[in-house]
Amino acid sequence: MRNFLKKSVKPFLVMAIAVSMTGCIDKSNDAKATDKTTSEGITKTESAKDLKGLKIGYCTPSLDAPYYQALLTSIKENTEVNGMEFLSADGQGDINKQIAAVEDLITKGVDALLLNPKDPMALVAVTKVAKAANIPVFIIDSSIDPSAYFVTTIQSNNLANGQLAGEWVAKKFGSKKMKIALLSGNAGNPVGATRKQGLLQGITEEQLRTLGYIDLNVVTQMYTEWTYAGGLKAMEDVLVAHPDVNVVITESDVCVLGAIKAIAQAGKTKDILIVAGADGQKEAIKYIMDTDFYGCTAMNSPVQIGKNAVEAAIQYINGKRDFPKTSYTAPLLITKENAAQYYNPKALF
């Protein structure tokens, strides 16, 4: 599916910038909990209530990407270090399977449900089943429709990260013309949409600041289904239809890592600059360190999100109820200047 944008976008047509308030997981005395970090990303939380024997359930949309594997591992380790039992379910990339998987966790009587929805609407009904069973639901990484029952959403600041990446590429090109291909995850995904919004806002706002006008030329949008193979196929199609593309912007590192093979096979690694609005996957960071064609990515840490999600569940168990509707990790842009600081070759993601 392709979405064509006009070559020149007038300022009065530019989307309004959303103002995001950044929430944080409270560590107040109300929850009577303090943190002791036992190792990287693993936190033992002192609790006024005995956590032994309590069950934390987590349902992932799939496990076919390193990010999902790292997020599951973080949740599992932070659950078990606190003496709780970890139960997991895999949606296997199928919305009907994810619904059935969540229902199974509810049936098993989990004390808190952590949910990473594949679709923002399809999981609404099952969250209400959880409510009827008095099971608190925490949405992590992705988003769900506001009509769902959930305590809070815990994710990276997708809008702010996208803006940082968009600003970076606009500064890089200055007045030089960009011909942009956009590689997205899948249609209708709210997180992808927010990252895309941030990328485009970052480009246009930086152009207005430094040039006094907007020259936004996105020639195509292709969907990758958040996979290497999808990125490869999408980029092959882009290069056939638009061989003179000189910038690829993407909603996630995974969307473009497969695309690099197509770019290299076409002999265009010196002609195309890659800019990712999110993730900080170790392979992407390595490319940023070692090449000039992968310009930047933004941090979306599955380790931190998993840690924060388990903390929030423990706080709820301890009686806390005044959670912000969304809690963000801090936005961070990774470029050649700081990439080595965040590169860990042993990381899952």
pLDDT digits (tens, 9 = 90+) for 65-93: 788 999 999 999 999 999 999 999 999 98
pTM (whole model) above 0.85? no
pLDDT value, residue 41: 64
CB 245 within 8 A of CB 263: no
In terms of Cβ atoms closer than 10 Å to its own Cβ (0-12, 13-18, 19+), residue 293 is: middle
Q: What is the pLDDT of residues 192-241, one digit of tens each?
A: 999 999 999 999 999 999 999 999 999 999 999 888 999 999 999 999 99
Low-confidence ranges of the chain (pLDDT < 50): 1-39
Ramachandran quadrant class, 326 (left: phi over 0; alpha: psi -120 to 50; beta: rest): beta
Class of domain 11-18+158-300+335-342: alpha beta
pLDDT value, residue 150: 97
Q: Give the number of other Cβ atoms within 10 Å of residue 341's Cβ.
A: 8
pLDDT value, residue 349: 87
Q: Where in the chain is the domain with CATH 3.40.50.2300?
A: 11-18+158-300+335-342, 35-156+302-330
Give percent of the chain with pLDDT exceeding 90. Answer: 78
Kindly report the CA angle at 312 between 83 and 33, in degrees rounded to 5? 65
Superfamily of domain 35-156+302-330: Response regulator (3.40.50.2300)
pLDDT value, residue 72: 96
